[in-house]
Amino acid sequence: MRQEIERAADEVVGRSLAEDIGLGDLTSRALFTPDDRCRAKVLLKEEGVVCGLAAFPIAFRLLDEGIEIETLVEDGERVSEVPQEIMRLSGYTRAILGAERVALNLLGRLSGVATLTRAFVSAVEGTGVSILDTRKTTPGLRVLEKYAVQVGGGVNHRLGLFDAVLVKDNHLRLAGGVKEAVRRLRGSVSLPLEVEADTLEQVEQALGLGVERILLDNMSPLDVATAVKLVAARAQLEVSGGVTLDNVRAYAETGVNAISIGALTHSARSLDISLEVLEP
């Protein structure tokens, strides 16, 4: 996973710099010479979980290989006293100003995902329930956002369509229902099967077919509790749909194994992080 994260960060930062700088930073090129240097500090201005410190320097080093960067916190560290200095930089002025926005965008985004994930994980503490992410990620940022979920204490459900089998409602409609979908899959794949169930009837069908994992989709906590009793630990149970910080504890206390939450990545708000140049 570490190599995938590094590769993804290199690709994302490279594309983002090309998008932002284009043929050149017109303002900085006009104001400063290639030899001008400066120092700067990075400030976290609101409470949250820091994430993306390894990816942050890539933008600056692509423009200035010799830039000096000192990291004052670690990924996964929750900062509560703000504003707090989390990094210091020293290098060529054009490079620092040119990479500033790309680096801050990425650091703020990943920190936001980690912070929201940590809030959900804290909300179910003591229940033994895992908080999972989904494929509802920002295009091009999936690997990095899923890393941020890990930093926040969550668990990656699946990276994509290629590493797990999950039969969702549209699959069921087109395949002719739970029984036919499971029959086809048993004959072609060796991975454990997970089937989405919108009703208790579908839960019974999946259970009768020996499905290893059942996704309880958009069910109330009461219906989920009923499904837990019905399944009686004969399959892993996952809840998804309509889960918020206000009700996640109620779902967790039903006895399910996991809760998947698309909001971890599709609704996380970027943390407020800024870069301030220091006086010469």
Catalytic residue among 133, 145, 217, 238: 217
Instruction: Determine whether 7 is an active site residue.
Output: no
- In eight-state DSSP terms, residue 153 is T
Catalytic residue among 64, 133, 194, 196: 196
Max Cα separation, the chain?
72
- In eight-state DSSP terms, residue 270 is P
Catalytic residue among 39, 61, 136, 184: 136
Are the C-beta atoms of 191 and 172 separated by less than 8 Å? no
Listed residue (272, 224, 279, 221) closest to 104, CA to CA = 272
Catalytic residue among 101, 135, 158, 184: 101
In sequence order, the 6+-apart residues with CB closer than 8 A to the CB of 100 are 275
Return the H-helix or E-strand segment holding 40: strand 37-44
Catalytic residue among 88, 168, 179, 249: 168
Instruction: Determine whether 118 is an active site residue.
Output: no
Are the C-beta atoms of 277 and 32 separated by less than 8 Å? no
The two structure tokens encoding residue 222: 């009461």
Instruction: Determine whether 196 is an active site residue.
Output: yes
Backbone φ, ψ for residue 267 (5° rounding): -125, 5
Instruction: Determine whether 101 is an active site residue.
Output: yes
As to burial, measured by CB atoms within 10 angstroms (0-12 exposed, 13-18 middle, 19+ buried), residue 125 is exposed
Task: Just list the catalytic residues.
Answer: 101, 136, 168, 196, 217
